[in-house]
Amino acid sequence: MRKVFVMLGALVAVVSMFALVNPDYQSPIVAVVEACAPAVVKVEAVKTVRSPYFDPFIEDFFRRWFGYSPFGGTQRATSIGSGFIFDKAGYILTNEHVVSGASEITVTLLDGSSYKAEYVGGDAELDIAVLKIKAEKEFPTLELGDSDKVKIGEWAIAIGNPLGFQHTVTIGVVSATGRRIPKPDGSGYYTNLIQTDAAINPGNSGGPLLNIHGQVIGINTAIINPQEAVNLGFAIPINTVKRFINQLVQTGKAQKAYLGVRLTTVTDELAKALGLKVNKGALIVQVLENSPADRAGLKDNDVVVKFDGVDVSSDAELVSLIHSHVPGDVVEIVVNRNGKEIKFIVTLGSSSDEEVQSAVAAKEFLGIVVGDITPSDRETYSIPVRVEGVIVRQNRGSLALQTGDVIDQIAVNGQRYAIRSVSDWNEVVGRIKKGDFVAIFAIRKGARLVYSFTY
């Protein structure tokens, strides 16, 4: 018996040597997750996608002569992302690319409850969207922080649904701010992003990036190809999002700022040819008359090197930075003029202030939606004033036209028609009949494109 007591005593002594370190300690991240996770949602968007091998004319041939199509054409697919509730009435923020084109949206909360959600509004360039849960109750919400105060090295916490694993939590730090990366579809750039090493994967898109106080500092949006890099995630600063929330809730659209310039990217060759004193930035090719840029004193051949504290290296980056603001915002623009840096304080405007929008609704033709060209369009897509026509706003059809292309002519059965306005477009496409031979002439970044087909 004595041996047993001796062994027990020895065991107690050994265990006491390995007592818990910091037994009462709890990570502050636990409190953040407990407080914030109930307001984070899983977003499932059902979309109709077109097969990459689908040809509408071949399908029409089979349906006409055989009564069916062997190709399938379109199919339903579900994309999964994340989002978070920012208003007790059930308003949710997420990425536009998560829900764009969805015919049905379902959100699921931490407690497992699911709700149908309606798309309130969004913007593809900004990549933000607002949804609304269809339920008469109050929901948990997240507090929106101040991304302008974010410091490199502070804690960053991501909550989302990577690869469908609901309410996954990852942590890291803010690795950098003011980052710029190209969008995957080549449509432009994400600018002024927050970079974090908190693990972000497909499915995290639209979810919150939180600080240690449980405030949203960004919307998780993009990752770098994991085959190229590890733990490089990017979030849209929440202050950019806050500028547009009220617009999206009230009108469904984001009215973005307008500077009033045509731009091109400075290259080594361009700098040498024009005798510029800098080899990077956005060269002002033209200042549009009576625009905010004109009123502020900007001139042709100025090189914009910094916009509101962010370095500028290309025309597309500058346009993205301009469009991250709303009309009326006051920004500081730094230009290099003949080797001297000059600062300008500019009150950004709206294209609707410069040009009255056409009251004529454009007819959709083959999935192509067009509009009259505005000064903002000329700034965004660098369209010269001499170029007239209608601009492609959206293309849901099979022709390879892109948003921003300018259609200036349409040929039908050998007869060419000039397109200078939406009224011209409506008149021409309204007369096209089955069996007509059609060619659409477009301009993209100065290049002439032609698309011909039998209607």
Return the active site residues. 97, 127, 205
Question: What number of CA atoms fall less than 13 Å from residue 141's CA on the CB side?
Answer: 14
Hunting for tokens 């579809």 — which residue is that? Answer: 185
How many H helices and E strands in the chain?
12, 25
Q: Which residues contact 363 (CB under 8 A, 6 or more apart)?
A: 425, 426, 429, 430
Task: Of 189, 158, 192, give the one whose Cα is nearest residue 176.
Answer: 192
How would you label 85-124 residue by residue, b for 16+ Cβ within 10 Å and e otherwise?
bbbeebbbbbbbbbbeebeebbbbbbeeeebebebbbbbb
Burial of 267 (0-12, 13-18, 19+ CB in 10 A): middle
Q: What φ, ψ does residue 450 adopt, rounded to 5°? A: -135, 130
Residue 294's H or E segment, with its range, is: helix 292-296
How far apart CA 195 and CA 232 sit, in angstroms, is 7
Residues in the chain: 455
Please provide the DSSP assignment of 329-391 as one string. -EEEEEEEETTEEEEEEEE-B-HHHHSPPP-SPPPPBTTEEEEE--HHHHHHHT--TT--SEE
Measure CA of the first residue to CA of the last residue in the chain; give whole Å.
101
Task: Of 50, 175, 182, give the one whose Cα is nearest residue 127.
Answer: 182
How far apart CA 97 and CA 120 sit, in angstroms, is 14
Q: Is residue 214 within 8 Å of residue 35, measured between CB atoms?
A: yes
Strand-pair partners of 79: 45
SS3 call for 421: coil
Residue 94's H or E segment, with its range, is: strand 91-94
Cα angle 346-351-354, degrees, rounded to a multiple of 5: 90
